[in-house]
Amino acid sequence: MGEGADLLVDRARELPPLHLATDALIADTTHFSAREIGAYLLLLIEAWRSPNCRLPDEDAKLADWARLGPRAWITAKPTVMSFWALSDGFWSPSRQHFGAVPRAAIAPSIRARILAVGACAYCGDAAGPFEVDHVVPLARGGPNIESNLACACVACNRSKRDHMLAEWVR
């Protein structure tokens, strides 16, 4: 870990607020009952708080997180999970309903300033090449502002991807 990394870890330890795309969410879920929309939102929040933004395909856990009994969960599951994709035993929520922070371009002057640091904020590598990393990833609601940007070597940036720092340095 590079010298600035401890500070960065502290800054990213708390999750950013979950952005909900309310227009799409309301329009897509008109056929959900109040219980189903409640379960859906609880699971979205649970995924948001989980590594890689996904939940294991285990009905007992999913029912618990959705605050439903086992039978109510089995009845509600097809509706509640209709906006999720199952892959490798994990459910990932559709990004159309949350975390939809528009990807704005980083101003060239800011990009130049970040890259001029000349060392990876995470491993300390000074050889480069370097990329601009979002400390709190855009996909996790991180803002496109200078205080959320760090100079990172290509290897660290590729390996960190959409992880929060606390998940990645574990």
- Count of Cβ atoms closer than 10 Å to residue 130 Cβ: 23
Tell me which residue has tokens 């009994």: 69
Q: Choose the stretch contacting Zn ion; rule: CB under 5 A; options: 56-64, 83-91, 92-100, 150-158.
A: 150-158
Q: Choose the stretch contacting Zn ion; rule: CB under 5 A; options: 3-11, 29-37, 140-148, 153-161.
A: 153-161
Q: Considering only CA atoms, which of 2, 5, 3 is closest in space to residue 123? A: 2
Q: Considering only CA atoms, which of 122, 108, 119 is closest in space to residue 158? A: 122
Site for Zn ion contains 165 (CB under 5 A): no
Closest CB to Zn ion among 2 and 99?
2
Closest CB to Zn ion among 105 and 127?
127
Q: Do 118 and 130 form a contact (C-beta atoms < 8 A)? A: yes
Closest CB to Zn ion among 65 and 168?
168
Q: Check the CA dihedral 113-116-120-122 and report its sign.
A: negative
Q: What residues from 51 to 80 belong to the interface with Zn ion (CB under 5 A)? A: none
Q: What residues from 105 to 134 belong to the interface with Zn ion (CB under 5 A)? A: 120, 122-123, 125
Positions in the binding site for Zn ion (CB under 5 A): 120, 122-123, 125, 153, 156
